[in-house]
């Protein structure tokens, strides 16, 4: 699973939650940061997908959404349970 995060370069609580969750399940990921001054149109051009707001998570080249979308995906794939506890570490 290839995970890419697109974040603003300023602190964001949702971005922090995403980073903590991925660290907790021990999944590798890449991060690209953007200035808040950059328009969502320009960010959309760079990501190749329509972006309305950041942070945004892509998995295997597909936009999945934000924090809760990532939680749903990790739950469905068996990485975490519905309480957010780690079920197993996959590589």
Per residue in 49-71, pLDDT tens? 899 999 999 999 999 999 999 99
Burial of 35 (0-12, 13-18, 19+ CB in 10 A): exposed
Q: Is the model's pTM score more than 0.85?
A: yes
Query: Above 80 in pLDDT, residue 89?
Result: no
H helices, E strands: number in the chain: 3, 4
Task: Return the higher-pLDDT residue of 90 and 27.
Answer: 27
- pLDDT at position 90, please? 55
Q: Which residue has the tokens 């890449």?
A: 30
- pLDDT at position 84, please? 83
- pLDDT at position 82, please? 84
Sequence-separated (6 or more) residues with CB below 8 Å from residue 87: 78, 79, 80, 81
How confident is the model over 31-38, as a mean pLDDT? 94
């Amino acid at each position: 699973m290839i995970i890419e995060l697109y974040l603003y370069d300023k602190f964001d609580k949702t971005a922090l939650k995403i980073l903590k969750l991925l660290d907790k399940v021990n999944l590798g990921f890449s991060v690209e940061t953007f200035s808040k001054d950059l328009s969502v149109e320009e960010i959309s051009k760079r990501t190749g997908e329509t972006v309305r707001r950041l942070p945004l998570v892509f998995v295997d080249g597909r936009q999945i959404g934000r924090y809760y979308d990532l939680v749903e995906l990790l739950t469905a794939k068996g990485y975490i349970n519905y309480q957010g506890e780690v079920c197993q570490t996959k590589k």
